[in-house]
Amino acid sequence: MAIRDIDDLPKNKANYTALTPLWFLERAATVHPTRKAVVHGSRTYTWLQTYQRCRRLASALAKCSVGAGSTVAVIAPNIPATYEAHFGIPMCGAVINPVNIRLNASTIAFLLGHSQCAIVIVDQEFFTLVEDSLKIMKEKSQGHFNPPLLVVVADEACDLEALRYALGQGAIEYEKFLESGDPDFAWKPPQDKWQSIALGYTSCTTASPKGVVLHHRGAYLMSLSNPLVWGMNEGAIYLWTLPMFHCNGWCFTWALAALCGTNICLRQVTAKGVYSAIAKHGVTHFCAAPVVLNTIVNAAPEDTILPLPHVVHIMTAGFRVTHTYGLSETYGPSTICAWKPEWDSLPTDTQARLIARQGVRYTTLECLDVISTKTGEPVPGDGKTMGEIVMRGNIVMKGYLKNPKENEKTFANGWFHSGDLGVKHQDGYIEIKDRSKDIIISGGENISSVEVENSLCFHPAVLEASVVARADERWGESPCAFVTLKPEVNKSDEQWLAEEIMKFCKSKMPAYWVPKSVVFGPLPKTATGKIQKHVLRGKAQQLGPVKLRKL
Amino acid sequence: MAIRDIDDLPKNKANYTALTPLWFLERAATVHPTRKAVVHGSRTYTWLQTYQRCRRLASALAKCSVGAGSTVAVIAPNIPATYEAHFGIPMCGAVINPVNIRLNASTIAFLLGHSQCAIVIVDQEFFTLVEDSLKIMKEKSQGHFNPPLLVVVADEACDLEALRYALGQGAIEYEKFLESGDPDFAWKPPQDKWQSIALGYTSCTTASPKGVVLHHRGAYLMSLSNPLVWGMNEGAIYLWTLPMFHCNGWCFTWALAALCGTNICLRQVTAKGVYSAIAKHGVTHFCAAPVVLNTIVNAAPEDTILPLPHVVHIMTAGFRVTHTYGLSETYGPSTICAWKPEWDSLPTDTQARLIARQGVRYTTLECLDVISTKTGEPVPGDGKTMGEIVMRGNIVMKGYLKNPKENEKTFANGWFHSGDLGVKHQDGYIEIKDRSKDIIISGGENISSVEVENSLCFHPAVLEASVVARADERWGESPCAFVTLKPEVNKSDEQWLAEEIMKFCKSKMPAYWVPKSVVFGPLPKTATGKIQKHVLRGKAQQLGPVKLRKL
């Protein structure tokens, strides 16, 4: 019955081109050439100007032999140059590597070396940081060091002294660099949609950061689905509180071009900055980590403009309070806790419980499930059985750069393994319970370190707490709590306090979940404020195993 | 400088899957299982039910050996079965061929034969039409005829006699057919995004319809971009006035699943039906040909519900009044006349002139241009120089089925040639001036038949007019007008009327544009109401060439 003709029509130049978000910029420049594309302080660039600046950048890079296979690092806050880099760098065929500006010199040295960075575009504020990184690289290189070209951005309120210093060190000023490029540069879309567009390193909660490689196709699909799931319309006005260096601003960089919207830059996120941008530019949307929301909500009255002149949509991701959830490995958010009208009439605490879940897959993520870590089979939708959250689809990264071992693990059995543990509810919504590497296995039972931590935080003396596994002669592992006490707490009798806290836990959780050891002190954190559990694990190891107690 | 590692990461099952809109249905069933998916009269199916029905359909088809390479025709108005067919048929790997219900038996016979149709799903109202088509096919087959299986849909207000007759002829009732399928059928996404999903025949303005083949990838991209350019949000309530058999309802069939929206079916488009659906179901969007808009605007007062309870968005396509423009070959609309806020303050006639243009490319169409038919180079953006409208990108069809000659022509030089002639304005917006095959070349100059027709219609005696080329001894070709006069016009002196009309034209257009011949009578039309210019061309040929006149 079947005929082959229907599938035999070939691809050709007219009906097939690699999916890439670069076309969005060309379109925005055609459709809305005079509309504001990027606003930063007193500077405004239209979409036509932005397109021309990006083509100049691509051209200037190409003149420096940057092209397919090259990596260009960007170390800068949310300023126009960072936005332009998201188009200009891929337009010459290269890969953008936006670097977290809060990292230290030695980590940056590692990233620049690992990515074989050809050029660094750096904001003048961070020039000496990059210089320090290059020194470290040179020292380690034993004479074979070929330093990358430095392009320094002189932002508004620029420290002229610092800029002069940078130029003295051989750096090229960004606007000069653009001038050397052709505004009509004939950029080409990638030959293959699988071509890489971006490289981003996972945050340094572990010892060696992994380089997540993203491709044009995924960035394109993410750009289309972000506005779709969020109801962001054409011409949206987007405030950059989320750093663009975080997973390319969850691909909102490219999405804004697809929407022909307006990017409002913000060099530093302050409550005042956010409120005045909303009032001045008519911001319709922004994304924010919980800590940013906190800043906004708890702002001093003189920094706020209330009531707001219009409704502003906020997308937030974080742990436990999320509406969206995702990883660098999935181009940013890849699940969304889709709200249902029938929830409107539920009690507030039920609503809070429902919305705290990570939810359902993005439109462009093809599969999302929770699978048993033992059998690999999907867990039942009972809201109880824990398993690993896994994903499959076109907004999953290509893989980690130069890391075949991790890639094998991460892509085992045709799933992307998020490393997060969770449950699946009856309605199909998933909910995170823990990071899989943070899970504690005691007597063969899983203990969610997150749940123990959450309970600990209810104790009146506890400021913050982190729980890791400690070896245990009887149970294999048992929970070990690291606790920072509130400043006002009398810390003279730590033994008594530890017992108090354990007693408190006993009233809140199964006995085997109760930490068998409590250690007081400040918690080690990364530059971005995440607790470094691997450091705590090291400390727990130094404590030795919990001894078998005769009962 | 370049490193290969960054591009060397391979595709795998976790990070790559063929793009297909079928995933949207699975997602809608997970995210909003109880939300209304399809409403038709008193019947309502939720997204979960729709998903199950589609899986049943896929399963039942697979049991009939329908799979990859098979074609299934659907001959039905906008009813749930037609919607379900858009998912169920591709879910078993086959291609859906929705057939225009207004075609006659011999054209349908041609389509079913050309597509080697395995199964026909037919609404009971059109059963005898299909029967007649099969008779024609049998007669022409000279004994080698293997008739397709017939599945008949008993819609609401069904003619029981007709249904009984169909069943008597060996047809299977649609609901029975579904029952034979498995609601948990393990459908598989296509192995390849290039796999065909739909086949649709171009309307019969020419003698032999061409079979436009669309693929999963394009349908997926169109589903994401339709809502994006139109500002259609999650949960939209969409009224089906546009026939689903027209280019798969411009892919809104699949887009509604991406949006987890609600499909309001409408067996017949009447003003009353439209108004009551808006009031009863809270319709937020519908698409409509100008003729439908006309019906709605000019409805009898007793058929309307005014003022409307809420804002309803309408997307319309047609000639000259379009906001969007596209072809079956581009999955439906592929350009949009994007409105600009600065137009708000312009005079109404300027606004009308601006919005009458076909505009700019869709987000997922990568290139749109107007090229010289002589040099193939883009025409200048002067709003005057005519050229052919060409497109390139992922929402261009695979090609015409079994028609290598047409494919070569249509895809020449890496462009999809729309066959429409137009200009490019200074702001990059394009505007159609004529179909390229309708253009009249007189003394080496192009004459837009559309513009001559538009002028003719301003003559008080003219009801409608169509202009084609007639051979001309002096000029090669010259315009020949076919005119239908208004009923009230005295038609006794045609010669005088013809001269009157030519005189009228002379005052409106360049002399060489003025029709040298005027023929009165009714205009030949297709089942969908399009004027059949090829018939008129035949008549013009019979007239012989316009003789050289001694001056």
Residue A40 pLDDT:
96
Let me know the angle formed at the C-alpha of B483 by B479 and B486, rounded to the nearest 5 degrees.
155
- In CATH, what is the architecture of B439-542? 2-Layer Sandwich (3.30)
Beta-strand relationship, B119-123 and B95-98: unpaired
| Cross-chain residue pair A228–B228, CB shorter than 8 Å | yes
Residue A337 pLDDT:
83
- Quick: pLDDT tens for B36-67: 999 999 999 999 999 999 999 999 999 999 99
Measure the CA–CA gap between A94 and A84, rounded to whole angstroms: 14
| Cross-chain residue pair A17–B67, CB shorter than 8 Å | no
Residue B205 pLDDT:
43
Reported as type and span, the H/E element at residue A316 is strand A313-316
Percent of chain B with pLDDT over 90: 48
Q: Which amino acid is at B58?
A: A
Structure tokens at B518: 């005027």
Measure the CA–CA gap between A367 and A394, rounded to whole angstroms: 10
Q: Facing residues of A315 across strands?
A: A287
Residue B219, chain A, CB below 8 Å: the answer is no
pLDDT for residue B268 is more than 50 = yes
Phi, psi of B115, deg, nearest 5: -90, 0
Reported as type and span, the H/E element at residue B72 is strand B71-75
Structure tokens at A111: 């990233």
| Cross-chain residue pair A9–B414, CB shorter than 8 Å | no
Region A337-364: mean pLDDT is 84
Global confidence as pTM: 0.82
Count of Cβ atoms closer than 10 Å to residue A154 Cβ? 20
Region B455-469: mean pLDDT is 90
Q: Confidence band (pLDDT; 50, 70, 90) for B502?
A: very high
- Quick: pLDDT tens for A408-448: 999 999 999 998 889 999 988 999 887 777 888 887 777 88
Cβ-Cβ contacts under 8 Å, A90 against chain B: none
Average pLDDT, chain A: 87
| Cross-chain residue pair B338–A234, CB shorter than 8 Å | yes
For A317-437, CATH number out of 2.30.38.10, 3.30.70.20, 1.10.3720.10, 1.20.120.140 equals 2.30.38.10
Of the two residues A316 and A179, the one the predictor is more confident about is A179
Write the CB contacts of B277 (distance below 8 Å, at least 6 apart in sequence).
B239, B264, B266, B283
| Cross-chain residue pair A394–B16, CB shorter than 8 Å | yes
DSSP B36-76: EEEEETTEEEEHHHHHHHHHHHHHHHHHTT--TT-EEEEE-
Average pLDDT, chain B: 87
pLDDT for residue A14 is more than 60 = yes
Reported as type and span, the H/E element at residue A467 is strand A462-472
Query: In A, residues 451-470, which contact B (CB 8 Å cutoff)?
Result: none
Cβ-Cβ contacts under 8 Å, B340 against chain A: 32
Q: Taking CA atoms, what residue in A is nearest to B337? A: A31
Region B526-544: mean pLDDT is 85
Q: Confidence band (pLDDT; 50, 70, 90) for A18?
A: confident
Structure tokens at A127: 């020039």
Cβ-Cβ contacts under 8 Å, A118 against chain B: 1
Measure the CA–CA gap between A426 and A405, rounded to whole angstroms: 35
Cβ-Cβ contacts under 8 Å, B33 against chain A: 427-428
- In CATH, what is the architecture of B23-267? 3-Layer(aba) Sandwich (3.40)
Cβ-Cβ contacts under 8 Å, A66 against chain B: 1
- Quick: pLDDT tens for B156-180: 777 888 899 999 999 999 999 999 9
Count of Cβ atoms closer than 10 Å to residue B221 Cβ? 27
| ipTM at complex level | 0.80
Instruction: Find the Cα–Cα–Cα–Cα dihedral B267, B270, B274, B275, rounded to 10°.
Output: -140
Cα B141 to its chain centre, rounded Å, is 30
Query: In B, residues 49-78, which contact A (CB 8 Å cutoff)?
Result: 65-71
Which of the residue ranges A269-278, A310-319, A531-540 would you say has the lowest mean pLDDT? A310-319
Mutate to test the interface with A, among B4, B8, B9, B284 (most CBs of A within 10 A): B9
- Quick: pLDDT tens for A367-391: 899 999 889 999 999 999 999 999 9
| Cross-chain residue pair B414–A12, CB shorter than 8 Å | yes
Region A251-270: mean pLDDT is 94
Supply the CATH classification number for the domain A22-268. 3.40.50.12780
DSSP secondary structure letter of residue A68? T
| Cross-chain residue pair A1–B196, CB shorter than 8 Å | no
Measure the CA–CA gap between A341 and A236, rounded to whole angstroms: 24
Count of Cβ atoms closer than 10 Å to residue A36 Cβ? 18
pLDDT for residue A464 is more than 60 = yes
Residue A4 pLDDT:
64
Which of the residue ranges A58-67, B141-150, B196-205, B392-401 would you say has the lowest mean pLDDT? B196-205
Measure the CA–CA gap between A366 and A393, rounded to whole angstroms: 5
Of the two residues A338 and A2, the one the predictor is more confident about is A338
Which of the residue ranges B107-111, B363-367, B434-438 would you say has the lowest mean pLDDT? B434-438
pLDDT for residue B540 is more than 90 = yes
Residue B206 pLDDT:
44
Residue A320 pLDDT:
33
Q: Which of B67, B231, B259 sits opposite A233 (nearest CB)?
A: B231
A452 touches A479 (CB < 8 A)? yes
| Cross-chain residue pair A213–B15, CB shorter than 8 Å | no
pLDDT for residue B486 is more than 50 = yes
Residue B187 pLDDT:
94
Q: Confidence band (pLDDT; 50, 70, 90) for B76?
A: very high
pLDDT for residue A302 is more than 80 = no
Q: Where along chain B do its domains lie? A: 23-267, 317-437, 439-542
